[in-house]
Amino acid sequence: MMNLSIGQKIALGFSAAMSALILIGMTLYWNLRQVEEDAGWVTHTLQVEKELDGTMLDLMKAENRAQAYLNTPDPAFKESVEKARGDLHSRIRTLRTLTSDNPHQVARLDQFEPLTSARLDGLLQLTRLHDLKVAASDPRMDVVARESKTMSEQLDSLVAEMSQEEENLLAQRQARAAATETLTFNVITYGTLLAFVLVGIAGWLVSRSITNPLRLLGLGASKIGGGDYGHRVNVNTKDEVGDLAGLFNRMAIQVEERQRILGDKDWLKTGLTKFSQVFQGQRDVEAVCQKVLAELAALLDARHLVLYLAEAAPEGEGDGGLRFQAGYAHDNPAPRLRKGQGLAGQAAVDRRRVVLDPIPENYLKINSVLGEAKPRQIVVQPAVYEGRTKAVIELATLHPLTPVQLDFLDQFAESFGVVLNLIEAMTRTEALLKESQALSLDLKRNQEELSEKNMALEEQTERLQASEMQLQEQQEELKQTNEELEQTNEEMQQTNEEMEEKVNLLAEQKKQMEKINREIEQARESIEEKAQELAQTSKYKSDFLANMSHELRTPLNSLLILSKMLADNGGENLTEKQVQYAKTIHSSGNDLLQLINDILDLSKIESGMVELEIVDMPLADLQRFVEHTFRHVAESKGLAFRAEIAPGAPETIRTDVRRLEQIVKNLLSNAFKFTPHGSVDLVIGPVEGGWRVPNERLDRVGTVVGFTVKDTGIGVSEEKQQMIFEAFRQGEAGTNRKYGGTGLGLSISRELAWQLGGSLELKSAPEAGSAFTLYLPLAGPAELKVPLSPAPRERRAAASQASPSSAHSAQTGSQEAAGSAPNALSLPSDVEDDRGNLAPGDRILLIIEDDRNFASIMVDFAREKNFKAVVAPSVEQGIAMARQVVPTAITLDLHLPDSEGWIVLDQLKHDPKTRHIPIHIISVDEGRERSLRLGAVSYSQKPVTRELLQAAFSRTLDFVERPVKNLLIVEDNETQRQSMVELIGNGDVKTTAVGTAAEAFKALDAVHFDCMVIDLGLPDMAGIDFIRQVQEKYGAAAPPVIVYTGKELTRKEETDLRRVAESIVIKNVRSPERLLDETALFLHRVQTRLPEAARHMIEQVQKNDSVIAGRKVLVVDDDVRNIFALTSALEAAKMVVKYAESGQEGIDILAADPETEIVLMDVMMPGMDGFEAIRRIRKMERFRRIPIISVTAKAMPGDREKCLQAGASDYITKPVDIEKLKSLLRVWLYR
């Protein structure tokens, strides 16, 4: 209703009423037909009884005529007896026709007819004996009489039974007619009432869908008129009222923007006016500067301000510097700055504003008594007058200045420069006046000093004479001084000797220092040697883990494959308990595989080999992931579960999405595991502290986000809280443990938290529950200025110094989590799509494409068509997203970085959950026939035009919006046609069945069909000629063709048919199942909505994989367990399997049997390994193009690239997923 126009809504209401009336009419018509049929059967019963009565009457007449002939030998009586035979036979034939549908009556007639003939023969025999004058007492007459009596009794009994049968049928048919009349009355009564109710409901819904949006529009207009310019009308309908609401909201946005612009202008004028008042009458620079800073701080919400005035440079020294004049909330500013020194000095030189945003770490802190904070932005604004810098103001704010505030700052600076120049001019004038007055006073003082100097000169002359007398006395003293100097020289010689001793001492110290340096160099070399040994040890450890992985995965491969085959019970020869045993073995094998993965994961983390993918992750995505993963766990355990984002939390956090989800998943798994009753909560929000260990990394970042998992579980004692964070350690030990687990989960989580730049803390007490808190920097690890991976010893030491603070046991791993598939939507995307904005009911287009530019074009095009778009750049992500989202449609590129796109098409079309989704192929290669044959709805070859995309979307929309698909059956045998219609039909398919090619062409001209089933043996045209003419006439619009024939095809006929038909089904015992499967594929039917019998038929067909059945495969593996497991699985799929236990043996078998079609090659084998075997096979001319799938258990980085470089066609890891292996086989064996 929300997406319909007003006219469509009204039409929908009338359609509901008309539909009800049509339904009532059809029901009445059916009931009247039933009444008519019942009346016919009543008449039929009466006619049967009438014929029975007539038959007995004719027989009685014959008996009477015979008796009359005996009494009165009139030849006419004898002739009438003979004539009665023909009449009776006619009536019996009539009875046979009337009772042909009743086997009981037919059986009675079979007895009745010979008895009637025998009775007539007896009557005629009586007449003949009478003609021979045989006496009535003659024994022959007595015998005939007795036989006649016996036959009469038998005839009466048969007629009574037949009459009673017809009476019973008459009663049943009359009762059915009465029931039909009652049903007709009820349909008329209640159907009419239902029609009135439907009309009323439709009218109410239509009225409500129109009046409610209009009421919201009126309310919105009132609010905007009252000054609430931010109000928007939330009307989401797609009708005319929705269009009006859209126009209303756009008008509201324009009004709000206009009001904002007017407000900004008013604020700007008010601020400038306020400063004009401050500047009036000011002559004191210091007072003006102080007032300016105070007003600026209030107006711009600045927290630190300093003001420097330009100084005049001394003559000949160029430009002057800057001197500190005033400050606001700032300590110890530099008293002077040179021009060009710092941002303030450079702004003075450039006469341009400088904005510092973002501010580097530890650049500046805004302090108060209660705390300190880092400013968000620093602005340096010069005040310029006539090209000369008068002053520089530097201010720091906790928020970026808006464009309006920066514009105000420019205008203020101009005014302030004028004011400073005016004050400077006034000050200079006053100084000149004071200087003039001071010069007059100096002139008077100089005249007085001149007279005083003349008098002083006379006195100096007298003193000069006295000085000559003193000179003579000083010469005597000089002689005495020379003698003292000689004594001083002797003392200097002694001092030199002491200096030489000190030099010798320094030389000795130098030698000691050189010895110490040599020891330091030896220690450094020793450390380097130990580092090399450590690197070698790390390499040995990696090799050990790789080999361990191989040695464990190899037997696991056999265990998982064989247990899965037993659990599937393909032969249906196991009991339910035996199947459960097999499922338990398979589940335990998967748990062991996950433990191996956890050990490898922990090793990678400890060795620093973890690669982080840091992206912006919406916290709402994490909340949805947690809800989806653990909601059913909470419900199954009866626990209250809450996952919330606290008020004030940021929308996104910069981190590695997969690792953050892994940590949270581990913590929640522990919480649910150790909480028998109560609740488990996850709270996400900003924090300002709480980590116990002194953490320099978190202490130095701006914002920290906390992820707290709190439960009411068993808790853990303080002495065990540190132990549970160590690998393979658990809160409880011994043989009587209550809780299982490996003890790796918390260890991995703590290491990952450290790698992400945060820490993992806990608070707990026995029986009081636990609270884990993961602290992560909002800006991600890139913001940190300290190393992210200190030595494990340093981390353990730091942890041991802190007081214990966290919860129960560490025995969690991936296998103990809630067991859900990875959240594909939480993975980062290089293309901006709608993965964070999906809601139930959305039409979603999944774009599987690695070309970012083309994917962006497809996203925009999808949005134009009212689709929401999600982009997957690889095969793995594409399959995961398709199964998680179940999109409306999919576009698929065939060339993807991790594998071929054919694998996506194959796996999705073999999955009942995704089989019905229309898939459109867009690729550079030619693959139209193959893609359509495998179930794609259409194919386009790159480069594509907008028109081609439009056509593809139109066809997709046609599939989506048309729930009933059209199927054409062309079959000359009417019985076969009807059986196919009954087999395929289910309400979601409209089937048109015709018997000739001419009728088929008429149907194709009238209706667009989604699929066509054709028999080759048509009466008016050969089947293959008909298919060719259809494709020539309709081109790309021709429907997919399924050939359904009982004819044995030659190889040439089959080749010719495969060129024009998408599928060939040979009629046999299993052909109905294959026909149902093929039509479901091409009609894109939702398999889960089919009847149970049809679903079972399709599942049986899919078990018998026709693509790989009968194909030859060579398995090369040195482990007989793997050979047995793979051989068993492949032979169960009807493949012809050969095997070899070494690379050389595999090459020999391949050379001896060139008809081998595909090879499964193990990588790690003694002697000749898989890489060398593949390279040698590729050198053989016959096998250059044979598909080779490498199988490895190492699963280490770079293995896939090594396999492909060696010449492998594809790659799969142990333990082998049989369904994935079958998919690879189907893709590479396609013909």
pLDDT in tens, 200-226: 887 787 777 777 777 777 787 777 777
Backbone φ and ψ of 1013, nearest 5° = -110, 125
457 and 531 together in one domain: no
634 and 700 together in one domain: yes
CATH number, domain with residue 454:
3.30.450.40
Segment among 407-411, 429-433, 816-820 with least mean pLDDT: 816-820
Q: Cβ(1158)–Cβ(1186) under 8 Å?
A: yes
Separation of alpha carbons 287 and 282, rounded Å = 8
| pLDDT given for residue 1173 in this prediction | 93
| pLDDT given for residue 1147 in this prediction | 93
Q: Is residue 228 part of a domain?
A: no
Can you say whether residue 342 is alpha, beta or left, with left for phi > 0 and alpha for psi between -120 and 50 degrees?
Answer: left
pLDDT in tens, 472-492: 666 666 666 666 666 666 666
Q: Is residue 198 part of a domain?
A: no
Q: Quickly state the pLDDT bin for 294 (edges 50, 70, 90).
A: confident
Separation of alpha carbons 97 and 763, rounded Å = 94
1088 and 1162 together in one domain: no
Separation of alpha carbons 493 and 481, rounded Å = 19
Separation of alpha carbons 100 and 215, rounded Å = 72
Q: Quickly state the pLDDT bin for 942 (edges 50, 70, 90).
A: confident
Q: Quickly state the pLDDT bin for 846 (edges 50, 70, 90).
A: very high
Encoded tokens for 483: 């003698």
Q: Taking 80 as the threshold, does the pLDDT of residue 445 lie above it? A: no
Q: Is residue 24 part of a domain?
A: yes
299 and 430 together in one domain: yes
Q: Taking 90 as the threshold, does the pLDDT of residue 708 lie above it? A: yes
Q: Say how far residue 809 (Cα) sits from the centre of its chain.
A: 32
Q: Is residue 1051 part of a domain?
A: yes
Q: Is residue 203 part of a domain?
A: no
Nearest residue to 1150 via CA among 966, 2, 1158, 1069: 1158
| pLDDT given for residue 461 in this prediction | 63
Does residue 897 have a cis bond before it (omega within 30 degrees)? Answer: no
CB neighbourhood size of 530 (10 A):
10
pLDDT in tens, 865-891: 888 999 998 888 899 899 888 898 999
Q: Cβ(1002)–Cβ(1014) under 8 Å?
A: no
Q: Quickly state the pLDDT bin for 805 (edges 50, 70, 90).
A: very low
Q: Taking 80 as the threshold, does the pLDDT of residue 696 lie above it? A: no
Q: Taking 60 as the threshold, does the pLDDT of residue 820 lie above it? A: no
Encoded tokens for 341: 């020194």
| Distance, first Cα to last Cα, the chain | 48
Decide which of 136, 158, 185 is a domain's last residue: 185
Q: Taking 90 as the threshold, does the pLDDT of residue 88 lie above it? A: no
| pLDDT given for residue 643 in this prediction | 92
790 vs 1193, residue with greater confidence:
1193
| pLDDT given for residue 691 in this prediction | 76
Segment among 526-530, 556-560, 602-606 with least mean pLDDT: 602-606
Q: Cβ(16)–Cβ(154) under 8 Å?
A: no
pLDDT in tens, 121-151: 777 766 666 666 666 666 776 677 677 777 7
374 and 455 together in one domain: yes
Decide which of 161, 185, 209 is a domain's last residue: 185
Does residue 766 have a cis bond before it (omega within 30 degrees)? Answer: no
pLDDT in tens, 274-286: 777 777 666 778 8
Q: Is 212 helix (H, G, I), strand (E, B) or coil?
A: helix
| pLDDT given for residue 408 in this prediction | 84
Amino acid identity at 1199: D
**Mean per-residue pLDDT for 166-182?**
77
pLDDT in tens, 614-625: 888 899 988 988
Separation of alpha carbons 807 and 769, rounded Å = 8
SS3 content of the chain, % helix, strand, coil (to 5): 60, 15, 25
Q: Taking 60 as the threshold, does the pLDDT of residue 742 lie above it? A: no
Segment among 382-391, 415-424, 843-852 with least mean pLDDT: 415-424
902 and 802 together in one domain: no
Q: Quickly state the pLDDT bin for 786 (edges 50, 70, 90).
A: very low
Average pLDDT, the chain: 77
Q: Taking 50 as the threshold, does the pLDDT of residue 802 lie above it? A: no
Would you tell me the crossing angle of helices 1051-1060 and 1023-1034 to the nearest 10 degrees? 20
Q: Give the chain's radius of gyration (CA, Å).
A: 51
Q: Cβ(58)–Cβ(91) under 8 Å?
A: yes
Separation of alpha carbons 536 and 5, rounded Å = 74
CATH number, domain with residue 689:
3.30.565.10
CB neighbourhood size of 439 (10 A):
9
pLDDT in tens, 1071-1117: 777 788 788 877 777 766 777 767 767 766 666 677 788 899 999 99
886 and 775 together in one domain: no
Separation of alpha carbons 851 and 857, rounded Å = 10
Choose the most confident range, by mean pLDDT, from 811-820, 876-885, 907-916.
Answer: 876-885
Encoded tokens for 1166: 């003694």
Q: Is residue 487 part of a domain?
A: no
Separation of alpha carbons 288 and 281, rounded Å = 10
Q: What is the dihedral of CA 707, 712, 713, 714, to 10 degrees?
A: 110
892 vs 253, residue with greater confidence:
892
| pLDDT given for residue 462 in this prediction | 67
Nearest residue to 879 via CA among 491, 1223, 624, 509: 1223
| pLDDT given for residue 794 in this prediction | 39
Nearest residue to 122 via CA among 52, 70, 55, 51: 70
| pLDDT given for residue 225 in this prediction | 73
Q: What is the dihedral of CA 526, 527, 532, 533, to 10 degrees?
A: 80
pLDDT in tens, 1124-1148: 888 888 888 889 999 998 999 999 9
369 and 315 together in one domain: yes
Encoded tokens for 10: 């009204």
Separation of alpha carbons 1199 and 1211, rounded Å = 9
Provide the domain limits for residue 1191: 502-559+1105-1231
Number of domains in the chain: 6
Q: Taking 60 as the threshold, does the pLDDT of residue 822 lie above it? A: no
| pLDDT given for residue 848 in this prediction | 92
| pLDDT given for residue 330 in this prediction | 78
Choose the most confident range, by mean pLDDT, from 40-54, 382-396, 1054-1068.
Answer: 382-396
Q: Taking 60 as the threshold, does the pLDDT of residue 800 lie above it? A: no
Q: Taking 90 as the threshold, does the pLDDT of residue 402 lie above it? A: no
Q: Cβ(691)–Cβ(674) under 8 Å?
A: no
Does residue 73 have a cis bond before it (omega within 30 degrees)? Answer: no
Q: Quickly state the pLDDT bin for 706 (edges 50, 70, 90).
A: very high
Segment among 188-192, 229-233, 302-306 with least mean pLDDT: 229-233
Q: Cβ(757)–Cβ(777) under 8 Å?
A: yes
968 and 913 together in one domain: no
Q: Is the dihedral of CA 51, 55, 56, 61 positive or negative?
A: positive
CB neighbourhood size of 619 (10 A):
19
| Residues 6 or more apart in contact with residue 1022 via CB below 8 angstroms | 1016
785 and 714 together in one domain: yes
666 vs 265, residue with greater confidence:
666
Separation of alpha carbons 701 and 320, rounded Å = 40
Q: Cβ(557)–Cβ(1216) under 8 Å?
A: yes
CATH number, domain with residue 1039:
3.40.50.2300
Q: Cβ(699)–Cβ(706) under 8 Å?
A: no
Backbone φ and ψ of 413, nearest 5° = -60, -40
Look-up of token digits 């021709």: 1038
CATH number, domain with residue 44:
1.20.120
Look-up of token digits 């003979």: 82
6 vs 1230, residue with greater confidence:
1230
Q: Is residue 1049 part of a domain?
A: yes
pLDDT in tens, 59-80: 777 766 666 666 666 677 667 6
Q: Is residue 450 part of a domain?
A: yes
Q: Cβ(1113)–Cβ(1137) under 8 Å?
A: yes
Decide which of 140, 155, 185 is a domain's last residue: 185
Give 187's Cβ-side CA count (13 Å radius): 19
Element (H, E) at 870: strand 868-872
pLDDT in tens, 18-53: 777 787 778 777 777 777 776 777 777 777 777 777
Separation of alpha carbons 934 and 1231, rounded Å = 11
Segment among 286-300, 357-371, 667-681, 878-892 with least mean pLDDT: 357-371
Q: Cβ(649)–Cβ(619) under 8 Å?
A: yes
1010 and 934 together in one domain: no
Element (H, E) at 326: strand 322-328
Q: Say how far residue 133 (Cα) sits from the centre of its chain.
A: 110
Choose the most confident range, by mean pLDDT, from 504-513, 573-582, 836-845, 1063-1072.
Answer: 836-845
1181 vs 33, residue with greater confidence:
1181
Separation of alpha carbons 460 and 452, rounded Å = 13
854 and 821 together in one domain: no
